[in-house]
Amino acid sequence: MNVQRLFVVALLTLAIITLAGCDDGDPDFPFDEGEFQIFTLLVDDQCLDGGLNPLFMPQGTEEPWAWPHLIRVYPPSALPQTYDLTLRPPFHEMSVTAERVSSTEQQLTVHPNPSVLIGPEQFGDCAVELSGTVHVDLTGSDQIEGVASLNLSDPGGDERCPADMPTSCAVLLSFEGTRGAP
């Protein structure tokens, strides 16, 4: 198991432990609705053993990758909310439902997107259904961090679709965000 995978497993474990100690109080800091610049820190591709890393960190996995679109985050008091996220191709627009877990935590359910191309340059017209969950920690008035567990299923398309890709598998991402543009 490589260091990156161990780090992602540790983050997921921390998220589960944190969820076990949920509270319903207000956060110790103000948190207003706003747009956040998200940075992917790590990716753990459990589908093609790293073959999908460029899909989630196009500039490589050595440095955090800044998402090209800001992402709206709501305060826990405004949840639940269902809304669309604008993402880069091949994800485009993705519908999510955010729910309050505690005063500083939320969980987003990624609604199934049935036709996400996994990398036209390498895999041609191979598409998967993408769904999943995203755990978001509000770590300050202007900071968030989290872990996403994305499920990729039902790969299909042209002959370049990887024959060794399971019919259902996960990609784990860790990320952080800062309010507004960097």
| In a domain? residue 79 | yes
87 within a domain of the structure (yes/no): yes
3-state SS, 69-99, equals CCEEECCHHHCCEEEEEECCCCCCEEEEEEE
How far lies 117's CA from each of 18, 45, 69, 81, 156, in Å? 34, 15, 19, 27, 10
Assess contact for 105 and 99: CB atoms under 8 A: no
Looking at residue 9, its pLDDT comes to 52
Range of the domain at 100: 41-179
Q: Are 57 and 66 in contact (CB under 8 A)?
A: no
Is residue 11 situated within a structural domain? Answer: no
Residue 7, in any domain of the structure:
no
CB atoms within 10 A of CB 84: 12
Domain count, the chain: 1
pLDDT tens for the chain, residues 1 to 182: 554 554 555 455 455 444 444 555 567 889 999 999 999 999 999 999 999 999 899 999 999 999 999 999 999 999 999 999 988 888 878 999 999 999 999 999 999 998 899 888 888 899 999 999 999 999 999 999 999 999 999 999 888 899 899 999 999 999 999 998 65
CA 106/CA 138 separation, integer angstroms:
8
**Pair 84, 95: CB distance under 8 Å:** yes
Q: What is the pLDDT of residue 21?
A: 46
Instruction: Tell me what pLDDT residue 89 has.
Output: 82
Domain contains 108: yes
In a domain, 30, yes or no: no
Question: Is 10 contained in some domain?
Answer: no
Task: Tell me whether residue 34 is in a domain.
Answer: no
Token pair 């543009």 in the structure block, residue:
181
| Rounded alpha-carbon distances, angstroms, from residue 155 to 14, 127, 144, 161 | 31, 6, 32, 7
